[in-house]
């Protein structure tokens, strides 16, 4: 298909969504009809946009259309779809279908039946339309308009359940924090317009190139504002403080879209401006900002993962996990930008891992949020203390949740293993000490991923005695989960095709031109080969089945299963404790002391300075904990949840930014 034909498909998808907004709004009083129409419009628009997105990648097409021209600001409002747009169009379309299917029965739960559908399906369609507009906008003005519409539509969806004050407060917090990020983007756009005279991306490109030579400090200010704006949407720490509040408030299908797609558009902003645009115009600045990406990526991955391991709520756990996974992606992007001038093959591998993680995490996170929604639908609770023992009562949901949990943990041969394998190789084989050290941080964050993924599944479906009866969710909800599960398995087992597409997209960026050839060895059918990134998921699966067969032969099948009390590492536990503790098991300090008893102290007492020298807890661990506790307490006091205080901070921040801009432009 021609590029013009693909752009027409994008416009057709936008038109279908616009029609869906109107139709579902008019029929919202008839719940059954509106639910059917919502699924139909999302399905048709999703298929059209998916075909367009895949076509843009496969055919390497770039198509542009000018909507109108505003002569007063010398800007043409333009839409352009290229290979990078195609990737995110595909994700938006791919996840909108199971989210709509899951919503069909989910909204008929008594928990939501009193809420009007006019605030759901029309806003859902508007949300999808705005996200499509963001990835095809080709001038800053159009980009910011769609960005704002996306934020407003998602705000209404987060606040869908208006009967709970905590939901409204979470939605307001989301509204304020994301608009602070949007304000940063607006200020950056205005500065670029003042310096260049137009919002068009071509003019922005020339303006950045000029500022790199004449006003480098101003360019760094612009890039800082853009980074804050995109990092807020991408939920990087500490900018993503809205996410753990917004997810529990939003309906689960919306949570799937928020974490699966919307926060990935913050990553899209990073890629579009810091990888596609900045290196060509001013490569040294891209190299400088790679440090920022790496630092925030590691911190988000570690702290987000650590927070996920100690939460009591299934959806809050997944929200913190989203912060951690955004950290992984950002770290991969930063490593690619940093290694570009030092080791191009490793830079390509890091960037390929980041792109693969975008796709894999979008599918897995959407699946797990739908699983959390199914558990809420069946039990009426998201708290781990109220869950547990659902394996036999919800076997299909449990099966899909098991796949999602193992995928996000990074177990081979599922999605996160592929991307982490690639990013870790690029980091650990780098000759740069900071990059290698960040790889150690990523390993720590990966351990947290295993902990919270196992906790999510075990605390939800195991631990407690199995529940009786059938609690399985309706067929449309199971179908939505099954679609995503099959995609997660397929992408993990056959990453070659996905990585091939990723190599085409990456090579479209000027700094990674020719990456397609250098990434050719990433995936192999028959062996695992380090440094080049090559490995074979099918070989790993084959080895697993061979070992399983030998294990079955050794154990035999004649023995009858033996029933025994619940066993947790040899520790007998009361049932009421299970699932309620942050770790999912009653892990206490005294238990650790019994498991790791202290060695007897010798009678000879060494000098005090010698004792302190041999005790790193006194001179290293405790000061770090004390300082971290002080910083955490400061951040906790800053996020009071009082809307008036957030508004005051926003006004103060706007005044400070305006003062900075005035000082920069004053004669």
43 band by pLDDT with thresholds 50, 70 and 90 = very high
Pick the range with the lowest mean pLDDT from 64-73, 417-426, 468-477, 530-539: 530-539
Compute how many other C-beta atoms are within 10 angstroms of the C-beta atom of residue 74. 14
Q: Provide the pLDDT for residue 4.
A: 84
Q: Provide the pLDDT for residue 362.
A: 93
Q: Provide the pLDDT for residue 562.
A: 61
Q: Provide the pLDDT for residue 535.
A: 61
Mean pLDDT value of segment 84-92: 92
Q: Which residue has the higher pLDDT, 581 or 562?
A: 562
Percentage of the chain lying above the pLDDT 70 cut: 81
Q: Which residue has the higher pLDDT, 181 or 525?
A: 181
Q: Provide the pLDDT for residue 544.
A: 72
Q: Is the pLDDT of residue 517 over 70?
A: no
Mean pLDDT value of segment 138-158: 91
| Nearest by Cα to 264 from 169, 365, 186 | 365
What is residue 79's DSSP assignment?
E
> What is this structure's pTM?
0.79
Helix (H), strand (E) at residue 387: none
Q: Is the pLDDT of residue 283 over 80?
A: no
Q: Is the pLDDT of residue 435 over 60?
A: yes
First to last CA, the chain: 53
Q: Is the pLDDT of residue 91 over 50?
A: yes
pLDDT tens-digit series, residues 403-428: 999 999 888 888 888 888 888 888 88
Q: Provide the pLDDT for residue 597.
A: 46
pLDDT tens-digit series, residues 574-603: 554 544 444 433 333 443 344 434 445 455
Contacts of 598 (CB under 8 A, 6+ apart): none
**396: which 2 tokens?**
């299909």
Q: Provide the pLDDT for residue 42.
A: 92
**413: which 2 tokens?**
């041969």
Q: Which residue has the higher pLDDT, 548 or 199?
A: 199
Q: Provide the pLDDT for residue 528.
A: 37
Is the separation of the CB atoms in 565 and 464 below 8 Å?
Answer: no
Pick the range with the lowest mean pLDDT from 21-30, 466-475, 584-593: 584-593
Q: Which residue has the higher pLDDT, 141 or 549?
A: 141
| Nearest by Cα to 387 from 395, 396, 376 | 376
46 band by pLDDT with thresholds 50, 70 and 90 = very high
Residue bearing tokens 């790193």:
616
Mean pLDDT value of segment 1-13: 87
Q: Which residue has the higher pLDDT, 662 or 506?
A: 506
166 band by pLDDT with thresholds 50, 70 and 90 = confident
Compute how many other C-beta atoms are within 10 angstroms of the C-beta atom of residue 107. 21
| Nearest by Cα to 445 from 293, 296, 301, 300 | 301
Is the separation of the CB atoms in 524 and 444 below 8 Å?
Answer: no
Mean pLDDT value of segment 560-566: 58
CA pair distance 633, 640, nearest whole angstrom: 11
Percentage of the chain lying above the pLDDT 90 cut: 27
Instruction: Please state, rounded to an integer, the average pLDDT across all residues of the chain.
Output: 81
Q: Provide the pLDDT for residue 168.
A: 83
Pick the range with the lowest mean pLDDT from 304-308, 377-381, 452-456, 606-610: 606-610
**297: which 2 tokens?**
């990526």
Q: Is the pLDDT of residue 563 over 70?
A: no
CA pair distance 323, 631, nearest whole angstrom: 19
Collect contacts of 38-41 with beta carbons under 8 A, ≥24 apart. 38/100, 38/103, 38/104, 38/117, 38/120, 38/121, 38/124, 38/125, 39/100, 39/101, 39/103, 39/104, 39/476, 41/16, 41/17, 41/125
Q: Angle at Cα 512 formed by Cα 507 and Cα 516, nearest 5°? A: 40
pLDDT tens-digit series, residues 357-411: 999 999 999 999 999 999 998 888 888 888 888 888 889 999 999 999 999 988 8
């Amino acid at each position: 298909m021609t590029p013009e034909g693909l752009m027409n498909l994008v416009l057709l998808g936008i038109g279908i969504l616009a029609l869906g907004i109107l139709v579902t709004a008019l029929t919202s009083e008839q719940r059954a009809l509106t639910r059917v129409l919502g699924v139909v419009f999302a399905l048709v628009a999703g298929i059209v946009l998916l075909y367009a997105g895949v076509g843009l990648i496969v055919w390497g097409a770039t198509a542009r259309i000018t909507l109108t021209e505003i002569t007063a600001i010398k800007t043409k409002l333009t839409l352009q779809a290229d290979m990078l747009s195609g990737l995110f169009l595909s994700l938006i379309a791919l996840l909108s279908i199971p989210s709509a299917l899951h919503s069909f029965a989910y909204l008929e739960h008594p928990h939501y039946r009193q809420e009007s559908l006019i605030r759901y399906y029309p806003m859902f369609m508007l949300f999808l339309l705005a996200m499509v507009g963001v990835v095809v906008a080709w001038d800053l003005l159009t980009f910011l308009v769609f960005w704002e519409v996306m934020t407003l539509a998602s705000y209404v969806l987060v606040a869908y359940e208006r009967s709970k004050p905590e939901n409204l407060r979470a939605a307001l917090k989301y509204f304020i924090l994301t608009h602070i990020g949007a304000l940063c983007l607006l200020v950056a756009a205005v500065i670029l317009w003042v310096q260049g005279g137009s919002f068009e991306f071509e003019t922005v490109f020339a303006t950045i190139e000029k500022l790199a030579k004449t006003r480098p400090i101003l360019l760094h200010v612009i890039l800082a504002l853009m980074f804050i704006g995109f990092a807020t949407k991408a939920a990087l720490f500490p900018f993503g403080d809205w996410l753990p509040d917004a997810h529990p408030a939003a309906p689960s299908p919306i949570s799937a879209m928020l974490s699966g797609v919307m926060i990935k558009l913050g990553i899209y902003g990073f890629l579009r401006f810091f990888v596609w645009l900045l290196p060509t115009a001013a490569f040294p600045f891209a190299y400088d900002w790679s440090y920022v990406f790496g630092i925030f990526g590691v911190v988000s991955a570690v702290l987000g993962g650590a927070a996920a391991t100690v939460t009591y709520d299934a959806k809050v756990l997944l929200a913190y996990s989203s912060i951690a996974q955004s950290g992984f992606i950002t770290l991969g992007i930063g490593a690619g930008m940093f290694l570009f001038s030092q080791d191009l093959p490793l830079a390509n591998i890091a960037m390929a891992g980041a792109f693969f993680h975008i796709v894999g995490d979008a599918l897995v996170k959407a699946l797990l949020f739908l699983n959390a929604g199914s558990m809420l639908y069946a039990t009426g609770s998201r708290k781990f203390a109220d869950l547990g023992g659902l394996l036999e009562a919800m076997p299909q949901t449990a099966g899909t949740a098991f796949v999602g949990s193992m995928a996000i943990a990074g177990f081979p041969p599922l999605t996160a293993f592929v991307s982490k394998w690639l990013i870790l190789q690029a980091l650990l084989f780098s000759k740069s000490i900071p990059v290698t050290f960040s790889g150690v941080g990523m390993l720590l964050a990966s351990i947290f991923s295993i902990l919270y993924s196992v906790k999510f599944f075990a605390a939800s479906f195991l631990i407690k005695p199995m529940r009786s009866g059938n609690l399985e969710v309706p067929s449309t909800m199971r179908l939505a989960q099954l679609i995503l599960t099959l995609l997660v398995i397929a992408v993990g087992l056959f990453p070659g095709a996905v990585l091939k597409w990723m190599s085409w997209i990456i090579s479209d960026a000027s700094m990674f031109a020719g990456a397609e050839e250098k990434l050719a060895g990433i995936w192999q059918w028959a062996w695992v080969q380090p440094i080049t990134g090559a490995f074979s998921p099918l070989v790993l699966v084959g080895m697993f089945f061979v070992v399983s067969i030998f294990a079955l032969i050794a154990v035999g099948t004649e023995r009858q299963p033996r029933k025994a009390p619940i066993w947790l590492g040899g520790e007998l536990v009361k049932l009421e404790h299970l699932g309620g503790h942050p770790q999912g098991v009653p892990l206490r300090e005294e238990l650790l002391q019994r498991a790791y008893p202290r060695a007897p102290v010798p009678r000879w007492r060494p000098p005090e300075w010698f004792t302190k020298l041999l005790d790193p807890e006194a001179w290293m661990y405790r000061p770090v904990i004390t300082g971290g506790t002080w910083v955490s307490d400061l951040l906790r006091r800053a996020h009071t949840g009082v809307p008036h205080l957030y508004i005051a901070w926003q006004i103060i921040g706007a005044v400070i930014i305006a003062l900075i801009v005035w000082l920069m432009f004053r004669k």
